[in-house]
Amino acid sequence: MMKLLHSVKEYIDRHYETPKGLIGTYIVEKMVRQHKPETEWTIGQLELEEQDKVLELGCGAGYAIQMITGKYGVGEIVGLDLSSTAIRSAAARNQKEINNNKRARLVQANFNNLPFSDDTFTKLYSIQTIYFWSEVDTIISEIYRVLRPGGLVVITFSNGKDNETWESVKEVSGNQVMPLMMNNGFRNVSLVRGPDSRGFHTVSIKGVKV
């Protein structure tokens, strides 16, 4: 029985990283509900303006894109995800903005090799994806490359729950992501505490490209 439960947990965890099929569709829609507080908080930190060109790494079911196009007059927002299932859900949720207004665009790709030219975006954000970053140094370099000078990045994640701190996440964020950002040329790199979501501690790493 324990072996079966472990197998089920591994299966679900794989779908959270790269959602697939019917189970994946259920999971990306579930994440919309679960991550609403930190999504709204992250968008607020971006200080969006009309001329902004925005990239979301890990767009999931496209809820953040829907919020941004509904409330802000940004020039363009691009949602990127490795999962074709997530891309389909995001496309369905944002069909009008994609097909009619052309303000939203979806791309299926890996974080390690972003399919965009240098200095493309003014704002970049990612919500609850840091746990799956396999090559942190490469991803930070790619984020820096596609941002314009003066561009803002906001990386939101959870680093604990209730009275527990997740040391492994703290290690990645504090000893890898933040130092690599500073070494790659980001300034004002900081860790900001946000609202708890279902007991999870929400934080963001922010930085500005020099």
pLDDT tens track for 125-167: 999 999 989 899 999 999 999 999 999 999 999 999 999 999 9
> Is residue 6 very low, low, confident or very high in pLDDT (cuts 50, 70, 90)?
very low
Contacts of 102 (CB under 8 A, 6+ apart): none
Contacts of 90 (CB under 8 A, 6+ apart): 59, 60, 61, 62, 65, 79, 81, 106
pLDDT higher than 50, residue 13: no
> Is residue 100 very low, low, confident or very high in pLDDT (cuts 50, 70, 90)?
confident
Average pLDDT over residues 74-79: 96
> Mean of the per-residue pLDDT values for the chain?
87
CATH numbers and ranges of domains, the chain: 2-209 (3.40.50.150)
User: pTM for the complete prediction?
Assistant: 0.85
pLDDT score of 89: 92
Residues 27, 132: Cα–Cα separation, whole Å: 16
Strand-pairing partners, residue 77, are 54, 104
DSSP conformation letters of 144-159: HHHEEEEEEEEEEEEE
Flag the least confident range among 33-42, 64-73, 161-170: 33-42
pLDDT score of 8: 36
pLDDT higher than 60, residue 18: no
> Is residue 28 very low, low, confident or very high in pLDDT (cuts 50, 70, 90)?
low
Residue that the structure tokens 């965890």 belong to? 13
If you average pLDDT over each of 37-41, 89-93, 142-146, 195-199, which comes out highest? 142-146
pLDDT score of 27: 58
Residues 54, 121: Cα–Cα separation, whole Å: 6
DSSP conformation letters of the chain: -HHHHHHHHHHHHHHHHS--HHHHHHHHHHHHHHTHHHHHHHHHHT---TT-EEEEES-TTSHHHHHHHHH---SEEEEEES-HHHHHHHHHHTHHIIIII--EEEEE--TTS--S-TT-EEEEEEES-GGG-S-HHHHHHHHHHHEEEEEEEEEEEEEEETTEE-HHHHHHIIIIIHHHHHHHTEEEEEEEE---BTTEEEEEEEEEE-
pLDDT digits (tens, 9 = 90+) for 176-190: 999 999 999 999 999
